[in-house]
Every structure is written in structure tokens, then in C-alpha cells.
Structure 1
Amino acid sequence: MNRFVIISGCSGGGKSTLLAELARRGHAVVEEPGRRIVQEEEAQRGTALPWIDLAAFLRRAAALSLADREAVAQEPGWVFFDRGLVDAAVGLEHETGEPVLQVLGQAHRYHGQVFLTPPWPEIYVTDPERRHGFEAAVAEYERLLRAYPALVYDVIVLPKVSVTERADFILRRLDGD
């Protein structure tokens, strides 16, 4: 059984808050590659930023996602990823037309259940790492909603409930495996 669980979905849908709750409960979590890349690029005055060079940003996200998998390979129990390789591949294929999704998505599998946060305009906010608007976030969500099932993942859209209830929901679903 694959212990690597993806939490993906709409930007601003509560993923980071949910991952923090899972970490608080003692689970290993991997922060979103995109936020880490933005922070590094801005600190170094780099250009691999979504609003400057999206393709370079997405290539870095894919590489970082692969490195993340390697870094947590020995972690016991569930390991929760705030996005991952499939998200980067979906974005890269959309941006460049390069057919990377099937290759990357099949070669590096995650747990069969993928949890997606739906668009939730009431909690959506921009910040220094998330500059795109809600419409762009929804478009990205819709691409992910198509891509994960195409790679034979069971997509579970998370309910719009409290973070505690969301964490309980995920753990109950995984314990049912």
C-alpha cells in the first residue's frame, strides 16, 4: 500500500491549514513545492516565478516533488503532500503542451485516493506567494479534477467543513483501506 497521500485542489481551498492539522496530529507532511520555490526565487531574485516564467517554475516544482518523495521515503505511516508531482505535470502540460502528465504521473504513483479541496470563495485570499485570482484557481482545479481520474486515482472532493472535520474525514477514509 502506498503511504504517500496527495491533498490537492483549488488554490485557497484550505490545503495548508489542513496539512498543519494533520502535522499537529503527528503525521508527516510535505509543504507545497510552489510556495517554497516562490520564497527561494524571490530571496535570490530569480525568475522561476509563476508570474514571470511559469514553465521554469513548473519544472522546478516537478523536480522538487520528486526530491520530496525521496526525502520522506523512510517516514513511517501516512505522509501527506500539499500538492505534488501530478499537480506540477498538469500545469506544465497545460502551459507548454509537453506531454509529461502520463509519463510522470504513472512512473511516480501516490496513494490511490487523492483528496481535493473544492473552490471555496468565502475563504479564498491572495498572498505574496498566491497572486492569481479566484477564476485562475478554479480553472486549475478543473484541470486537476480531470487529470487525477485519467491517471486512475480515486478523487475524493473534501467537504466544506472545519479543518478538524476535514482531517477526521481523510483519516477515516484512509483507515477504511
Structure 2
Amino acid sequence: MIKAVVVDDELGARESLSKMLEKNCKQIEIVAKADSMLSAFEAITNKEPDLVFLDIEMPNGNAFDLLEKFKNINFNIIFTTAYDHYAIKAIKFSAIDYILKPIDPEELVQAVKRFEERIGEKTTLDKQFKTLLSNVRPDNKLKKVGIPDGDGLIFINLSDIIRCDSDGNYTFFILTSGKKIIASRTLG
């Protein structure tokens, strides 16, 4: 038997997935269900599942926040999601599986089969997860923006910008210091 944990903050989605697994994937034994990041962390830690069906968006964080709490990822993941095409691309690239909501029973069966085929692979789950995180949360995030002024560009930390106001062809950048910078050219 494959031990699994089902994580979804929505009761209906959690129960629907559980019933689909019981009906269509007899090799899956649901050892726990969780409705929050905390209960998911506890269930995964205590039950040591082989596979976790994990909703990406949850109250107080998301699946990636939850997974970062684990020192080592020693379980497989099938994400369940209703949206976020960028995350789906990152998940695909990391060789970690996903199912779009509403979940189709045939897609569920196929995802479980892919998991079973991967069981013997040498690629570590930790490596897959690290690849996923680097795709979803790259370290090279934009930290500064170049604003054209009369002499060239002024580079400002994004965290220093409170807001941008537009007036015709001008954009006014209001900074946390109270300073106001006027862009000398249109930005769009």
C-alpha cells in the first residue's frame, strides 16, 4: 500500500479527492487529511507518507511555504491546483506532478501511475523540490528599477518605492524617504 496524506483547506475538495482515491486508486491508503499548513506539517511528520496530495493555495501561506519547513523532503508530491499557470510550468519542469481542479478521476489515476513509475528512480525528492523552489521563487528577483532622469538612469530599490503617480507623460515615484523622483521619459 502507498501511504498518502490529502491536504486541502476546502472540506469539499478534500473529501472529493479522498473518495476518488478510494474508488479509483485502491493501492492508496489515506493515512491523514489536513486542512491547514500546521495540520499538514503535523500529519506529514507523524504519518511519514509516501505521497502527499497538496493544494497550492491555503490560508496563511501556500504549499511552497509548507514544504520549506521540512529539513528533508522524503515523500512525493502531487500538487492540486485550480490556477497559477506559472507555478504549473515550474512544477512540470521540476518533475513533480500536479492535477488541475476540478479533479478528473482519469487524470488522478494517471498521476498516481506516474508516481508509481517514479518510485525506483534515482533522482532525489529533495533535489526535485529544490529545483521547484528555484523556479517558483528565484533568487534573482528584480530588486532595483532604473528610472530615467535628465542625466541617465537613477537606480532605486523596489522596497523604497511607496507608489507611482502618473500625470500625462510624467511618472512621479514617491519614496519611503519622502523624496519624489520624476521620470523624464514615458515608461510605457
* TM tier relative to shorter chain: 0.3 to 0.5
Q: Whose helix fraction is larger, Structure 1's or Structure 2's? A: 1
Query: TM (normalized to structure 1)?
Result: 0.39
Query: TM (normalized to structure 2)?
Result: 0.38
Q: Whose strand fraction is larger, Structure 1's or Structure 2's? A: 2
Larger-gyration structure (1/2): 2
